[in-house]
Structure 1
Amino acid sequence: MPSSGFSGTLSGPKVEVAIDMGNPLLNVTVDGFLKIGAVAATRVAAEEAYHAVKKGSVSSHNFEHTLKKMCKEGAYWGTVAGVYVGAEYGVERIRGRRDWKNAMIGGVVTGAVISAATSKDKDRIVVDAITGGAIATAAEFLNYLI
């Protein structure tokens, strides 16, 4: 049976913004915050645009709600990313090597810090730390496979 396929690559423009804070740890932390915060804000904008098109109208109230949600999500996910990349970088500098253990420790620290900031339940903090470490380690292993 005849078949056809498509092969190719798609790449977009790469934008690099460097903000020199005078310290490599702060540089990677701010970079992570800005990049992932922008992604989160863009995701919210796309979702809200879809809902506006589906509903068929845009009001100033909806627009204001969208901007607030973009800022909130961007700040939250940017903070998570900033804590993670900062923790991973700090662990790498302390250990003197670059491997999956840095990602695991960075994920544990991030899970614990973000959870402790939003919850006083010690069991929840431990579970979130374990989850953060597991997700970061899995992501690191997936990066090696791809």
Structure 2
Amino acid sequence: MADGQLSTLQQEWITLQSQFDQYEKYSLLIKLCNILITCYLLFALKLALWPLFICAVIWLQDGIWKTFQARTGDRLLLVEEAVSQLQGADNSSQPILGMQFNSAWESNRSGAIGLIMEYVKQSLKPTVAYPHVLLLILCLIMMFL
């Protein structure tokens, strides 16, 4: 039984780790798009207010994307803990079953306000906030020049 559980958890870990890495790649793509779009609006079209708004929206989108990654990361940690337990570290606690990502996500889901707060929390992490904050500052500078 433990070998079957371990195999299931290992397969889940491989899938989730791959998804976690993909989220990171797409977050970098979101950042690059924000740089291009904001700079185009500021310097090519000479707009001032719209780039500020667009940049903020893209930043929040990056925060939403990173929220999905964080949830995947939370599940990865649970799977790693379960694999560790099954490999002999501690079998006394209740085992964590593999292939339960969506159930675990649903059971930890908060309401609308909680979800928005989670998005904002992810958006404020330094690795997410960069380069969005710099672009917003650039937009503000361009507005007042």
The structure whose RCO (Cα within 8 Å, separation 6+) is larger is 2
Greater helix proportion = 2
Provide the TM-score with structure 2 as the length reference: 0.38
- TM (normalized to structure 1)? 0.38
Instruction: Please say which structure displays the higher CA radius of gyration.
Output: 2
